[in-house]
Amino acid sequence: MPSKKNSSRKLRGKKRAEKKSQGHAKKKLAILFSIVAVIFIFATIAAFFIIKTPNVYYAKREVPINLTVGPPMYVGIGSIKGENVLFFGSIPPGGSGYREINITNNEGFPLRISVMIEGDASRFVTSSENNITINPGKSAIVHFVAAIPWDATQENITGTAIVGFSRKSS
């Protein structure tokens, strides 16, 4: 029959082994948790920079916009050849005018095109295409429409179409 002394030693030895084993498990769990936390922090920071990075333009082109709200004096389709201006002429209240710009990508990489209308013209002129991608050697047509409401008063309208070219990220 085992003595009480031997059995209590065995019991204490088992308890020590269990405590030691639990200590190792806790350390392993803490290390694993630390690794997961570090990965999560780096992923969060990377996502923040990807989402919050402003659209840095590769190039920017400003195209003046001119139109008159009043009786029609000029009627035509498209922009004036050789001119870097969107000239809509005179458009009566309730009328509309249409112009377009043909953009060709002569770069060796895809370009993202974004269009913004500024100035008084932004009340009447809209661009149908925005944030489009043009592949190398390809062209795209950006359409502009000037829609004058019925209650508009006679006035000369100016503004700027800002066409931004940025490198398309993969």
Q: How many H-runs (helices) and E-runs (strands) does the chain carry?
A: 1, 8
Question: What's the pLDDT score for residue 18?
Answer: 64
- Sorted by where each begins, the domain ranges of the chain are 1-53, 59-167
Percent share of the chain, pLDDT over 90? 27
154: which 2 tokens? Answer: 């006679």
Q: 52-100, pLDDT tens digit by residue?
A: 555 555 678 899 999 999 886 654 444 444 457 888 888 999 999 999 8
26 falls in which pLDDT band (50, 70, 90)? Answer: confident
DSSP assignment, residue 25? H
Distance, in Å, from the CA atom of 20 to the CA atom of 26, rounded to the nearest integer, reads 10
User: At which residue do the structure tokens 């190039």 appear?
Assistant: 59
Please report, rounded to a whole number, the percentage of residues in the chain having pLDDT higher than 70.
71
Q: What is the CATH topology of the domain spanning 59-167? A: Immunoglobulin-like (2.60.40)
Question: To the nearest whole number, what is the mean pLDDT of the chain?
Answer: 79
Give per-residue burial for 130-155: e unless 16+ CB within 10 Å, then b: eeeebeeeeebebebebebeeebeee
pLDDT bucket at 6, cuts 50 / 70 / 90: low
